[in-house]
């Protein structure tokens, strides 16, 4: 029967322990840390959840975070991460335990003090990452019901970014950079075409997704086939949209520090032309 050696008791329900392979793990179980101390042993069957934090820095962060939290908050956050794990097919980056715990803990702390942070990229996040947004919405609902609080909808956007980060192994700062870039590109499109796109409408969602997939292709160095005849036709027929597509591409190139292939201008022009006719 396997057992674990306790290295640190974080609270009644969370321990840092060491397995027989000497790897340090975070161990979770109802009342598992009650009356326990360092060097005690716990049996594997008493453990409800277990995860590894391979990075020493993340382990230290987690050890500092947990004791600052009330147990019911901790339970709600741990259950939320399990919910995310259950709803995604991908293997989550282990850092989600630290990053999301940290984020939610401070979101709840701010709420209790009447301080709210506005989420400037809520609509973009919803359009960019619909699957993550849906899971995040359920997570925020669950936390609100469990703790009898009322985290605002902006938090759904923040949690969705953490979920996307855990699935794709991208950092939150990179993801935020792409959200800002999409916002900048849409603002430029509206100014140049003299239109205002409804942020809840299908045109907005289509444009955001087109820009997102363009950015992803650029980052991965993926090349689309370039239909040369269509390019010259679009340049003649739709000069406004063709010129705008190149302006958008220049902004992308500067932000991403990567080349954007000419074919992207063709597909972007067609998309912009379809969009502009909707506003005529």
CB under 8 A, 24+ apart: contacts of 32-40: 33/9, 36/6, 36/9, 37/6, 37/9, 38/6, 38/7, 38/8, 38/9, 39/5, 39/6, 40/5, 40/6
Q: Do 66 and 30 contact (CB within 8 A), yes or no?
A: no
- At residue 225, the pLDDT reads 77
Cα separation, 96 vs 261, whole angstroms: 34
> What is the arithmetic mean of pLDDT over 85-96?
88
Domain pair 1-52 / 174-278, same fold: no
Give me the residue spans of the domains in the chain.
Answer: 1-52, 55-170, 174-278
- What is the Cα–Cα distance from 45 to 179, expressed in whole angstroms? 44
Lowest mean pLDDT among 147-156, 180-189, 227-236, 271-280: 227-236
Average pLDDT, the chain: 91
pLDDT value of position 187: 97
Is the model's pTM score more than 0.85? yes
Q: If 0-12 CB within 10 Å is exposed, 13-18 middle and 19+ buried, where does residue 189 land? A: buried
The pLDDT score that the predictor gives to residue 37 is 92
Cβ within 8 Å of residue 269, ≥6 positions away:
234, 238, 241, 242, 244, 245
Q: What is the pLDDT at residue 104?
A: 95
Q: How confident is the model at residue 1 (pLDDT cuts 50, 70, 90)?
A: low
Topology of the domain covering 1-52 = Transcription Regulation, Sacy; Chain A (2.30.24)
In tens, the pLDDT along 106-162 reads 999 999 999 878 898 899 999 999 999 999 999 999 999 999 999 999 999 999 999
- Tens digits of per-residue pLDDT, 155-176? 999 999 999 999 999 999 999 9
Cα 258 to Cα 253: distance, rounded to the nearest angstrom: 5
279 pLDDT exceeds 90? no
Secondary element (H or E) of residue 155: helix 154-168
Per-residue pLDDT reduced to its tens digit, 229-250: 788 889 899 999 999 999 999 9
- CATH (one of 3.40.50.1370, 3.20.20.450, 1.10.1790.10, 1.20.1050.10) for 55-170: 1.10.1790.10
Per-residue pLDDT band for 55 (boundaries 50, 70, 90) equals: confident
Encode pLDDT of 18-54 as tens digits. 988 888 888 888 889 889 999 999 988 888 888 888 8
The DSSP 8-state label assigned to residue 119 in this structure reads -
Q: Per CATH, the architecture of 174-278 is what? A: Orthogonal Bundle (1.10)
Query: Which of 131-135, 179-183, 220-224 is predicted least confidently?
Result: 220-224
């Amino acid at each position: 029967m396997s057992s674990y050696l306790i290295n640190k008791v974080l609270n009644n329900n969370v321990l840092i322990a060491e397995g027989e392979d000497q790897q340090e793990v975070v161990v979770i179980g109802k009342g598992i840390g009650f009356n326990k101390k360092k060097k005690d042993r716990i049996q594997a069957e008493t453990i409800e959840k277990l995860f590894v934090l391979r990075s020493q820095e993340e382990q230290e962060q987690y050890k500092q975070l947990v004791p600052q939290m009330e147990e019911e908050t901790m339970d709600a956050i741990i259950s939320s991460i399990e919910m995310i794990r259950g709803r995604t097919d991908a293997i989550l980056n282990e850092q989600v335990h630290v990053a999301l715990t940290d984020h939610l803990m401070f979101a709840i702390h701010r709420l209790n003090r009447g301080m709210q942070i506005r989420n400037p990229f809520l609509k973009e996040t919803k359009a960019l990452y619909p699957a993550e947004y849906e899971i995040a919405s359920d997570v925020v609902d669950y936390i609100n019901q469990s703790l009898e609080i009322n985290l605002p909808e902006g938090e759904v956007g923040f949690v969705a970014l953490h979920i996307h980060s855990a699935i794709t192994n991208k950092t939150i700062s990179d993801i935020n950079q792409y959200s800002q870039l999409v916002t900048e590109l849409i603002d430029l499109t509206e100014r140049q075409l003299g239109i205002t796109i409804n942020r809840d409408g299908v045109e907005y969602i289509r444009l955001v997704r087109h820009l997102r997939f363009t950015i992803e292709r650029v980052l991965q160095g993926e090349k689309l086939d370039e239909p040369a005849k269509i390019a010259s036709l679009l340049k003649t027929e739709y000069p406004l949209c063709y010129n705008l597509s190149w302006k958008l591409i220049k902004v992308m190139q500067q932000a991403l520090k990567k080349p954007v292939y000419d074919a992207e201008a063709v597909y972007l022009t067609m998309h912009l032309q379809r969009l502009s006719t909707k506003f005529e």
